[in-house]
Structure 1
Amino acid sequence: MTMYRMVGLAACLAAALPAFALDQSDYRFNGFGTAAVTRLGGEADGRSYGMQGQTNDSWRGDELSKLGGQFQYGITDSLDITAQVIAQAEHDSWEANLEWLYASLQATDRLVLRGGRLRNPVYMYSETLDVGFTYPWLRLPDEVYHQVQISNYEGLDAIYTLPLSYGSVSLQANAGKALNRDYFLYDTVADMDYRKIAGANLSLATNAFGTVRLSYSEADLTLDGLLDGQKGKFTSLGYQFDNGTWLTANEATRLVMEGPVASKNAFYLMGGRRFGNFLPHLTYAQLDEEKGGGRQVSWTYGLNYSLLPNVTLKGEYKRVDTSSEGEGVFVKTGAEYYREQVLKGSFGIPAPTYDGDIVSVGIDFVF
């Protein structure tokens, strides 16, 4: 790996990952952001797409663009406090939110205890979810990353890291709750309560063969008119590798919900190769809904260019197709969903499928 790339990676990790103890009265500030636009075209003209429906047939920057800062202060040599604020669009309006606010105790050389508002660690890229510089895409694979809508919770976690001759193994366990969180469903916003959040993840990082990560999380879910304390369970298995020339990232997930919400299986496979400052990459992703047999598949073709050690220009084209009456990550209104169910039940008319082309262009940066 070149020194040019190592400088950018070091800055990126400082801005994104959970920071360990500083010396007393020391502090650290890092910033990160994305400036990007995206547009949905093709057969899906007039429809919206994405977790909050922010991608449509106009060039828009509110889904992908954001600006964040992270501040860490050493209260003692082993006790720190960390805060992270992110400004981004929430349901068509821009807001600045306190994403992280926690105290961390370096209990031993291997054990860190944290408490406060923490990242919900359900995905392989959860800790760097908002720091686009840490992954090759402008859009994380929607088929996987649209499923769990909360990014943080209030509670506790513990991280134990064991050094090995060929790398390290880390175990993280967490528990807490997240109340009155926005939940986007059928083009409306409702309040969701996540109670009794509990989870754990195990990560094996090797010096030469990449990193494997397995995680599990569950919570009791309450959503007016749909869920009343039903259990939701989420499992993720991921692998990533980057030797400075070749890279790959792969993740498979399963979401199981008690009640009327369909369980989902999803995965993506990504590979890329660097040619100097250029990085072309290719991703295949798939989402399957067990209830009704809906499926979404996509191919993403991306090209990145490293403008500076801490600034990357990215462009992507994503082709999305749905089948078997599944809407995938496309957005329906409640009226559309109801009308389709009536037509299917009364006349046997299947729900429509959706297809589209998503183009995204932007810059990821850290400082």
Structure 2
Amino acid sequence: MTTARVLGLAICLASTPALALEQGEYRLNGFGTAGLTYLGGEDDSKGYGVNGQTTDSWRGDQLSKLGGQFQYGITDTIGFTAQGTIKPAQDEWQANVEWLYLSWQASDNLMVRTGRLRTPVYMYSESIDVGFSYPWLRLPDEVYSQVQLSNYEGADVVYNLPVSFGTVSFQVAGGMAKNRDIFAVDDMHDIDYNDIFGGNISLSTNDFGTFRAGYVEADIKANIEDDVTVPFFGNINVSLNPLDHQKGKFTSFGYQYDNGTWLTANEWTSRVIEADGSGSTDAFYLMGGRRFGEFLPHVTYAQLDEDAGRQNSWTFGLNYNLMPTVVLKGEYKRVETSGDSYEGVFVRNAQQTVDDRLGLAPAHNFDGDIFSVGVDFVF
């Protein structure tokens, strides 16, 4: 099996199929990552990353995961898809149902799906757990840490329009996501997403790569709270970021290109949560790489901007194809922040956050060196 065919398999594991399976036909595939990561150079932060699992010890629970996908053709036009994963959430491993939906292939170009679906937020949203489908071992944190919701209950419509120079794809999605977990101030909290609505359009050209533009919004309800110690008040419970049905809006633009030798991936995003006082969060990354036989060196610059400060990073990676279905990846990422005690994607707990807001802690910028090594595989 050639690398190109295996990459196609990886993408099919995590995207809307072009055509439904025939009646009685089924497909069973698996994917996963086994990786280790380490944070050096940062003494005052407990960790780094979406779940805070990148620390000053070599750990495998930030990157490692295992998943499987099953598809079955109920009729020639109606299909069933289920995808499950086992991956860490903060310090515990959890089994997750990522996809569980029925699909109707109304025509060669039109598909309707209903059930549990991937949230169409990022360029790599549908392949976010299939590391084989993208060049990094860890996706750029500056962009991919912003929205932690990976799936929702609802429906979507996907329409593919063939044109002379490629294919234009339209997706419209709607639904809700109740009782989800969000990682904030070094702990897990409950969050609800109501009235989710999103849409995106992508142009896959024959010779010039793929362009994508997307928008998603939802009404968010959450209360990020914890017990802290405050001078003169002692131990009290404080609400750090209450969200009561406030609308969150997320806009993204992306571009990918891969001709087998040269490749690039680029994405810009903007997030706004109305009335939370944090302003907009803007982020982007620019990635380029070139293949030399079985080797792929690549470099990425990423930047995250908020009212409180900026995080920027450089990532240098080297991939090696051990087998057509297994890729060995190694990365070094240098992360720096600027601003008045701005932590970026570094993790502070509730007490550290309150101390900073009250001016009880000295101003401090965060920086660190992140080393990661692992393998991505499909089968």
Aligned to 1:241: 257
Aligned to 1:269: 286
**1:319 maps to 2:319:** no
Aligned to 2:29: 30
Is the 2:343–2:365 contact (alpha carbons within 8 Å) kept by the matching residues of 1? Answer: yes
How many residues are aligned here? 359
Mapped to 2, the partners of 1:144 and 1:94 lie a distance apart of 24
Deviations 1:66-106 (A, max 9, x none): 00000001000000000000001112111111110000000
Aligned to 2:370: 358
**3-state SS of 1:343 partner:** coil
Instruction: Tell me by how many angstroms 1:351 deviates.
Output: 3.3
Higher-strand-fraction structure: 2
Paired residue for 1:232, among 244, 248, 253? Answer: 248
Is the 1:304–1:314 contact (alpha carbons within 8 Å) kept by the matching residues of 2? Answer: yes
Instruction: Tell me by how many angstroms 1:45 deviates.
Output: 6.7
Mapped to 1, the partners of 2:55 and 2:44 lie a distance apart of 7
- The CA RMSD over aligned residues, in Å, is 1.3
Mapped to 1, the partners of 2:322 and 2:277 lie a distance apart of 44
Mapped to 2, the partners of 1:248 and 1:350 lie a distance apart of 41
Instruction: Tell me by how many angstroms 1:46 deviates.
Output: 5.5
Deviations 1:23-79 (A, max 9, x none): 001100010000000000013475300011011000000010000000001000000
Aligned to 2:236: none
Mapped to 1, the partners of 2:12 and 2:31 lie a distance apart of 10
Mapped to 1, the partners of 2:262 and 2:24 lie a distance apart of 41
**3-state SS of 1:360 partner:** strand
**1:108 maps to 2:107:** yes
Paired residue for 2:301, among 281, 284, 293? Answer: 284
Mapped to 1, the partners of 2:74 and 2:43 lie a distance apart of 53
**1:332 maps to 2:348:** yes
Q: Which runs of 5+ in 1 are unaligned?
A: none
Is the 2:291–2:297 contact (alpha carbons within 8 Å) kept by the matching residues of 1? Answer: yes
Q: Which one is further off, 144-153 or 40-49? A: 40-49
Aligned to 1:18: 16
Instruction: Tell me by how many angstroms 1:343 deviates.
Output: 1.2
Mapped to 2, the partners of 1:11 and 1:227 lie a distance apart of 40
Instruction: Tell me by how many angstroms 1:257 deviates.
Output: 0.7
Mapped to 1, the partners of 2:146 and 2:304 lie a distance apart of 10
Aligned to 2:266: 250
Q: Identity of paired residues, percent? A: 61
Is the 2:45–2:348 contact (alpha carbons within 8 Å) kept by the matching residues of 1? Answer: no
Q: Which one is further off, 137-146 or 323-332? A: 323-332
Mapped to 2, the partners of 1:165 and 1:46 lie a distance apart of 53
Mapped to 1, the partners of 2:277 and 2:258 lie a distance apart of 37
1:295 is matched by which residue type in structure 2? R
Q: Report the CA distance shift for 1:261/1:303 in structure 2 as closer, same or farther (over 3 A).
A: farther
**1:300 maps to 2:315:** yes
Mapped to 2, the partners of 1:335 and 1:12 lie a distance apart of 42
Q: TM-score if structure 1 supplies the norm length?
A: 0.96
**3-state SS of 1:12 partner:** helix
Mapped to 1, the partners of 2:277 and 2:144 lie a distance apart of 17
Instruction: Tell me by how many angstroms 1:261 deviates.
Output: 5.1
**1:5 maps to 2:22:** no
Is the 2:286–2:300 contact (alpha carbons within 8 Å) kept by the matching residues of 1? Answer: yes
Q: TM-score if structure 2 supplies the norm length?
A: 0.93
Paired residue for 2:275, among 252, 256, 259? Answer: 259
Is the 2:45–2:347 contact (alpha carbons within 8 Å) kept by the matching residues of 1? Answer: no
Aligned to 2:235: none
Instruction: Tell me by how many angstroms 1:16 deviates.
Output: 2.1
Q: Report the CA distance shift for 1:360/1:261 in structure 2 as closer, same or farther (over 3 A).
A: farther
**3-state SS of 1:16 partner:** coil
Mapped to 2, the partners of 1:149 and 1:244 lie a distance apart of 32
Mapped to 2, the partners of 1:130 and 1:270 lie a distance apart of 19
Is the 1:45–1:57 contact (alpha carbons within 8 Å) kept by the matching residues of 2? Answer: no
